[in-house]
Amino acid sequence: MSTWLAGRVLENRHWTDALFSLRVEAPRLDFEAGQFVRIGLEPALVRAFSFVNPPHDPVLEFYGIVVPQGPLSPRLARLEPGASLQIASNPAGFLTLSQVPDADTLWLVSTGTGIAPFLSILRTETPWRRFRTVVLVHAVRHASELVYRDLIGKLVNENRLRYVTFVSREAAPGSLAGRIPAAIRDGRLEAAAGAPLDERAHVMLCGNPQMLRDAAAALAERGLRKHRRRNPGHITVESFW
């Protein structure tokens, strides 16, 4: 059973007409980077949102997209500083590094807002303590949706992170065209990252459920299989809908 905590919006940053990041003051919550929590404007209308902030940061941060016909996301996008937000007291989820076995390369592969839990993970020290190479992959429709570039660029400049982007609905210099599963199959993803996608890797996938299925199928053709506690593998997934 969850109880509801009162949060207060500190900032609502709009990256594009549809993409927003909420920073929220709230009572401290115990969670692990990669987890999510249910938020809403009233207990009858709540949705899961991944934390973008790391656990040690007292200000909560969520990254969202407006689904025009969706009941909650358009309302969240319109929240102004000072507005109230309900937050469940019980974060949850298994898209966390404590669930991931040791590997040489950690691949964090996302579409759209599926980058959110990986941003939280990348704001902790754990990836670099545990993995020799860390790759972040982000696929979006338009280049303007390649968000959090300051945070990511800093990690890239420090040689801690390799960053590969896909832009699928316009030409975008510096980004791959098309979709992630095709680029796994034809070797473009490995070439762009300069890292192998083989049994020495662990791949965390987050975002569009069809991408999760298609990418897992492409990885299975390379001998990678879903990770389960009783049957260790190489793929961990979280679906956003």
Ligand X SMILES: NC(=O)c1ccc[n+]([C@@H]2O[C@H](COP(=O)([O-])OP(=O)(O)OC[C@H]3O[C@@H](n4cnc5c(N)ncnc54)[C@H](OP(=O)(O)O)[C@@H]3O)[C@@H](O)[C@H]2O)c1
Ligand Y SMILES: Cc1cc2nc3c(=O)[nH]c(=O)nc-3n(C[C@H](O)[C@H](O)[C@H](O)COP(=O)(O)OP(=O)(O)OC[C@H]3O[C@@H](n4cnc5c(N)ncnc54)[C@H](O)[C@@H]3O)c2cc1C
Q: Pick what 96 binds: ligand X, ligand Y, none; C-beta below 5 to 8 Å, kind-dependent.
A: none
Q: Pick what 173 binds: ligand Y, ligand X, none; C-beta below 5 to 8 Å, kind-dependent.
A: none
Nearest CB to ligand Y, comparing residues 19 and 218: 19
49 interacts with ligand Y by CB under 6 A: yes
Round to whole Å and give the CA distance between 210 and 188: 20
Closest CA to 81 of 25, 42, 40, 27: 25
Nearest CB to ligand X, comparing residues 61 and 145: 145
What is the maximum alpha-carbon separation in the chain? 50
Nearest CB to ligand X, comparing residues 131 and 148: 148
* Cβ within 8 Å of residue 217, ≥6 positions away: 181
Binder to ligand Y among 116, 119, 167, 205 (CB under 6 A)?
116
- DSSP strand pairing (45-50 vs 36-42): antiparallel
In the three-class reduction of DSSP (H, G, I as helix; E, B as strand; rest coil), residue 140 is classed as: strand
Nearest CB to ligand X, comparing residues 138 and 202: 138
Site string for ligand Y, 54-93 (x = CB under 6 A): --------xxxx-x--xxxx-------------------x
Closest CA to 107 of 87, 134, 83, 146: 134
Residues in contact with ligand X by CB under 6 A are: 18, 65-68, 111-113, 139-142, 145, 166, 168-169, 179-181, 208, 210-211, 214
Nearest CB to ligand Y, comparing residues 112 and 127: 112
How many residues bind ligand Y, per CB under 6 A? 21
Binder to ligand Y among 7, 34, 112, 181 (CB under 6 A)?
112
Binder to ligand Y among 36, 107, 118, 131 (CB under 6 A)?
36
Closest CA to 174 of 152, 143, 195, 196: 143
Locate 101 and state its tokens. 């076995």
Angle (nearest 5°) at CA 31 between 85 and 205? 95
Round to whole Å and give the CA distance between 187 and 196: 9
Q: Which residues bind ligand Y (CB under 6 A)?
A: 36, 47-50, 62-65, 67, 70-73, 93, 112-113, 116, 238, 240-241
